[in-house]
């Protein structure tokens, strides 16, 4: 028996939305403030997956300039009907405090690889929008509604409204079809039709350790919805010993052979901290319909790490090379930027062929124009390295290698300038916004044109290194706590009030800052990301 090992999409790939189109399977996942928007993975067998494309590649589709950390693209929903791909997504402009500014859009394409259309605005009443294509040809949007009023349930239920293809907008009355179960925090709605019932699948309990998948059904799309007596159908809340925690936010797919699978969000915590440096990931479970018409997992109501694979021929994909020498005119698909698209004004692969040029711009504190290119951490243990040519003339000019969660949580090994010792190496850190310099004194590298930088992460430990020749690497600074670069550490609650939230994951990459405004340039000759499995 062939077995699928979870998670199938490791490292910051949350809120999975899965579909099948003939013999191909696609999963869309959230990208938050990282650009380009939405990751779409592809598989032929539900076991082997590859990152295929990003549909939101233009500023006209997704303008996140100024978006907060963990804002941006939440919970995309991918669907396919009558030869057309549909992608629904939320662009979150604010999410802290009593209000959430959550704008929902639709884009379409005839090919999964695009081109994808300009966005059609839908509504802003809440997040996690999903599109259901009914058998009669009508289309229905569901999303959770956010209620800011005091003494009300902030997760105010699931709204349903019809979408008109002809008018390209929502039409008709708005119905609140489901107020949730006792678990609360009802979100992530998906509607499915099976036999005579409409099934409403939601996530409840919040996207942390009480996360769960619940199901309700009705013979009418408008309800009333009967709650599954066995809810939640999936949760790890009562199983702290499991490797896969935070199980929830799910969607389902059926193979041509009518085998049913459910994909869901999960997290793999480091212990004992319970911090998830890999963020929220995607796992898969085999499912079935019972004789009385309820959805069940074949392994019980908890997330299994090993799952029976479908009766499909295995189709593995070739592995990505560990080193990018920047010889192409396009960046590797795994690289991302913060909020803004890659553009020649701050990033170039052509100015010096074989090099990535970054123009120094704003600091890590900025929600606007950072010059940062990074990729997800997708294994607990890895090494990343690069070599930098940089000639700073001011302490306000920096470039180097960053282990990054958000503007309040990062570790940075950088090249800069000191008035006394000239060109130098330093380390800076931020833990929940508290700035620190773990290296007591900068190390002079005056007169050396290029510096090799390396980060070695093993579970909760991070050690930076540097080298002059690329052969002999010397440790720099103390061993740092890598578990700080996580959703869980980013979550900051004081006196019951959330001051910061984290929904992403750890990134490793290259960046440059020039706080003087002189736009000093840094040249990176390669970038290596190697997982230690």
Report the distance separating Cα 258 and Cα 135, nearest Å: 19
Which residue among 91, 128, 187, 301 is the active-site one? 187
Specify the pairing of strand 17-21 against strand 34-35.
Answer: unpaired
Catalytic: 15?
yes
Q: Cα 160 from chain centroid? A: 26
Query: Can you say whether the dihedral through the CA atoms of 337, 343, 344, 346 is positive or negative?
Result: negative
Query: Can you say whether the dihedral through the CA atoms of 63, 123, 116, 375 is positive or negative?
Result: positive
Phi, psi of 25 (to 5 degrees): -115, 140
**Which of helix, strand or coil describes residue 406?**
strand
Q: Do 249 and 16 form a contact (C-beta atoms < 8 A)?
A: yes
What is the DSSP code (8-state) at residue 503?
-
Q: Do 333 and 321 form a contact (C-beta atoms < 8 A)?
A: no
**Which of helix, strand or coil describes residue 482?**
helix
H or E segment to which residue 487 belongs: helix 487-490
Catalytic: 187?
yes
Report the distance separating Cα 89 and Cα 340, nearest Å: 17
Q: Do 314 and 3 form a contact (C-beta atoms < 8 A)?
A: no
Q: Do 170 and 159 form a contact (C-beta atoms < 8 A)?
A: no
Which residue among 15, 33, 383, 487 is the active-site one? 15
Report the distance separating Cα 300 and Cα 285, nearest Å: 10
Note the maximum CA span of the chain.
78
What is the DSSP code (8-state) at residue 485?
S
- Cβ contacts of 28 within 8 Å, gap of 6 or more: 16, 17, 38, 39, 40, 76, 77, 78, 87
Structure token pair of residue 328: 């192409």
* Closest-CA residue to 236 (of 141, 296, 305, 180): 305
Active site residues per annotation: 15, 187
């Amino acid at each position: 028996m062939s077995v699928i090992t979870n998670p199938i999409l490791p490292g910051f790939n949350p809120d999975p939305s899965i579909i099948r189109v003939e013999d191909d399977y696609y999963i869309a996942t959230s990208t938050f403030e990282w650009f380009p928007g939405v990751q779409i993975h592809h598989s032929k067998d539900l076991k082997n997956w590859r990152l295929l494309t990003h549909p939101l590649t233009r500023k006209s589709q997704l303008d996140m300039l100024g978006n907060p950390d963990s804002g941006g693209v939440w919970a995309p929903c991918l669907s396919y009907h009558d030869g057309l791909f549909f992608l629904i997504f939320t662009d979150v402009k604010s999410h802290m405090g009593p209000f959430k500014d959550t704008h929902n859009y639709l884009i379409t394409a005839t090919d999964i690889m695009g081109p994808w259309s300009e966005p059609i605005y839908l509504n802003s009443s809440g997040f996690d929008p999903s599109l259901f294509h009914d058998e009669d040809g009508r289309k229905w949007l569901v999303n959770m509604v956010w209620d800011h009023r005091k003494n009300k349930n902030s997760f105010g239920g699931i709204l349903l409204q019809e979408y008109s293809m002809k008018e390209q907008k929502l039409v008709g009355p708005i119905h609140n079809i489901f107020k949730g179960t006792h678990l609360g925090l009802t979100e992530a709605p998906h509607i499915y039709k099976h036999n005579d019932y409409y099934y409403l699948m939601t996530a409840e309990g919040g996207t942390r350790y009480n996360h769960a998948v619940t199901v309700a059904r009705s013979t009418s799309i408008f309800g009333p919805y009967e709650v599954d007596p066995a809810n939640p159908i999936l949760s790890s809340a009562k199983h702290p010993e499991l490797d896969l925690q935070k199980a929830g936010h799910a969607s389902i797919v059926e193979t041509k052979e009518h085998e049913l699978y459910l994909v869901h969000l999960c997290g793999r915590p480091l212990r004992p901290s319970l911090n998830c440096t890999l963020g929220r990931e995607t796992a898969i479970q085999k499912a079935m319909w019972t004789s009385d018409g309820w959805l069940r997992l074949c392994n019980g109501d908890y997330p299994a790490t090993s799952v029976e694979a479908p009766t499909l021929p295995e189709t593995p994909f070739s592995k990505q090379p560990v080193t990018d020498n920047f010889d192409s005119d396009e960046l590797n698909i795994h690289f991302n930027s913060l909020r803004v698209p890659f553009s020649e004004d701050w990033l170039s692969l052509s100015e010096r062929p074989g090099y990535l040029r970054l123009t120094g711009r704003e600091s890590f504190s900025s929600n606007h124009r950072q010059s940062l290119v990074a990729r997800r951490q997708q294994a607990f243990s890895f090494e990343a390295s690069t070599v930098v040519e940089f000639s700073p003339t001011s302490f306000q000019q920096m470039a180097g290698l960053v282990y990054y969660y958000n503007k309040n949580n990062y570790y940075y090994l950088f090249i800069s300038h000191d008035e006394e010792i000239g060109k130098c190496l330093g380390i800076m850190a931020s833990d929940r916004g508290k700035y620190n310099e773990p290296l007591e004194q900068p190390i002079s590298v005056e007169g050396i044109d290029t510096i090799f930088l390396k980060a070695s992460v093993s579970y909760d430990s991070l050690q930076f290194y540097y080298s002059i020749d690329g052969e002999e690497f010397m440790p720099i600074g103390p061993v740092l706590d890598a578990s700080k670069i996580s959703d869980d550490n980013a979550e900051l609650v004081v006196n019951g009030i959330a001051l910061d939230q984290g929904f992403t994951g750890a990134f490793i990459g290259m960046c440059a800052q020039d706080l003087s405004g002189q736009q000093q340039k840094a040249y990176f000759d390669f970038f290596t990301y190697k997982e230690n499995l």
